[in-house]
Amino acid sequence: MNDRKHVAWLYEQLPMLVSDGVLPAETADKLRRRYGETPAGGGRQLAILIFGIVGAALIGAGVILLVAHNWDDLSRAARTALAFAPLATAIALGGWVLARRRGSAPWCEGAATYWALTIGSTISLVAQIYQIHGDPARFFLTWILLGLPIVYLLRSGVVACLYFIGATTWAGCARGVYARGTSLWYWGLLALTLPYLLWLWRKDREAWQAVLTGWALAICLCIGTGLSLGAALDGAWIGAYTGLLALMYLAGARWFGGARSVWQRPWQTVGALGLGVVALLLTYDWPWKDIHNSVDAWTTGPVMIIGNTLAALLPIAAICLAAREARRAGWEELDLVMVGVAPLCGVVGYALASAGRLGALPQALFNVYLLALGLGALVAGIRGNRLGRVNAGLLALSALIVARFFDSDLSFLARGVAFILVGTGFLTTNVVMLRRKQASA
């Protein structure tokens, strides 16, 4: 829990403590003066914030449409002035918010969103007026770099999310337009937001801004990692993704594990779902077919070396963090240990496949791993009395069973019986866990 939630809880308890005679009214008043006004309700503040952002976007769109109505009849100078007019008003509004409404999240987020959107519209209009030719990659790069200062000036989580989306889009565009390895700068673009993210997470890890940026960054990393690894070896994505997703889950469990809802746990949720999907894909033979012995590729140039190093650092970091967590993990945290094994399996499987004629071994390795992952989550959920982990383990086991049944030549009767058994296991386990929860309540 953070200070804001402590204060909110204290203010809820004060009337009852005064009425029961535990605290005198004077002491309650002193506590209120000491900690300030009661924090605004989260739902109400979020609603105001959403309406502010939507209103800012609608105003910007309306201004553009009004200008577009008479666009062809205006001179080039008039068009240029009108192109910069929304940006000028956005800058003026941002300055006013910094001077008068710095502590208001709706004002800051609304002004920041409007400002960021006007940057993109101004770039597009100026390029159209003066017939400046370019490519989408250059457009998105210019947009996000000009919008980055807004993140720090107005402390805007929404603009930070737009920045992550823009950087990921740039990586996809740059991969198809520029020289091989240019998209590796994607990681440098993300690093520019690191000071803001550290400030945000230290301030309140469960606040909506921290949660929203967590979801946006986690999803963008899942996409951008693949886009930026075009300069790495064939198959390097296996170790990179198993490392990245395991790192997400382990870091989320370590630093964001106290969150009360799934919405407040973006790193664990994205990491768990992504790792389950990747592990299931690696139980097939097609990911391992194109891998061959390419040791010389590590020395073919700086771009290849950087790409391969990045792909190798992700599983190494995940394995190190998993080893640290495994020292103090009990049966209730068995899923943490099993998640940490994923990048190790990815590295071993890649080494076996690159050795040649051993493609069946890494495929079998991930079949065993997914089975162990499901059992580990199941055991951790049962020992810790956590229904969510139990269902996650059952889902992993069911996915493996279903994949293997569709991948085999068994009859429809055998498959039908297997599906009935799996469904029965789901229902029975959930009924037992719910009864245990009710008995312990």
On whether residue 4 sits in a domain, the answer given is yes
Looking at residue 357, the DSSP 8-state letter turns out to be: S
Structural domains of the chain, count: 1
The answer to the question of residue 141 being in a domain is no
| Per-residue pLDDT reduced to its tens digit, 213-253 | 999 999 999 999 998 887 666 788 899 999 999 999 999 98
Residue 399 lies in a domain: no
For residue 73, the model assigns a pLDDT of 72
Q: CB under 8 Å to 372, separation ≥6 — which residues?
A: 338, 341
Task: Tell me the per-residue pLDDT of 145-187, one tens digit each, with 9 for 90 and over.
Answer: 999 999 999 999 999 999 999 999 999 999 878 877 888 899 9
The whole-number average pLDDT for the span 114-135 is 88
The pLDDT > 70 percentage for the chain reads 78
Which three-class secondary structure state does DSSP give residue 389? helix
Q: Give the phi and the psi of residue 408 in degrees, each rounded to 5.
A: -115, 180
| pLDDT tens by residue, 346-356 | 999 988 888 77
Residue 200, amino acid: L
Domain ranges, residue 32 = 1-38
Shortest CA distance to 54 belongs to which of 106, 128, 129, 1?
106
Rounded mean pLDDT of the chain? Answer: 81
Which of residues 405 and 123 earns the better pLDDT score?
Answer: 123
Distance CA 51, CA 57 (A): 10
Contacts of 243 (CB under 8 A, 6+ apart): 313, 314, 315, 316, 317, 318, 319, 343, 346
Burial letters 270-302, b for 16+ CB under 10 A, else e? bbbebbbebbbebbeeebbeebeeeeebeeeee
Tens digits of residue pLDDT in 95-123: 999 998 887 888 898 899 989 989 998 99
Residue 15 CB: number of other CB atoms within 10 A? Answer: 11
Over residues 11-35, the mean pLDDT reads 75
Q: Give pLDDT, residue 152.
A: 96
Model confidence at 433: pLDDT above 70: no
pLDDT above 90 covers a percentage of the chain that reads 32
Mark 197-224 as b/e (b = at least 16 C-beta within 10 Å): beebbeeebbbbbbbbbbbbbbbbbbeb
Give domain status of residue 363, yes or no: no
Could you tell me if residue 82 is inside a domain?
no
* Better pLDDT: 299 or 192: 192
As a whole number of angstroms, the distance between CA 362 and CA 350 comes to: 7
Mutual angle of helices 42-69 and 105-129, in 10-degree steps: 20
Whether the predicted pLDDT of 125 surpasses 70: yes
- Give me the pLDDT at residue 247, please: 94
- Report H helices in 328-359: 334-354
Among 54-58, 137-141, 220-224, 338-342, which is the least confidently predicted range? Answer: 54-58
Distance CA 343, CA 248 (A): 12
Asked if residue 22 belongs to a domain, the reply is yes
Kindly tell me if the per-residue pLDDT of 40 is higher than 50.
Answer: no
Amino acid (1-letter code) at residue 170:
W
Q: Does residue 370 contact residue 280 with C-beta atoms inside 8 Å?
A: yes
Which are the contacts of 300, defined by CB distance < 8 A and separation ≥ 6?
A: none
The distance from CA 132 to its chain's CA centroid, rounded to whole angstroms, is 35
Residue 31 lies in a domain: yes
Residue 19 within any structural domain of the chain:
yes
The whole-number pLDDT of residue 97 equals 92
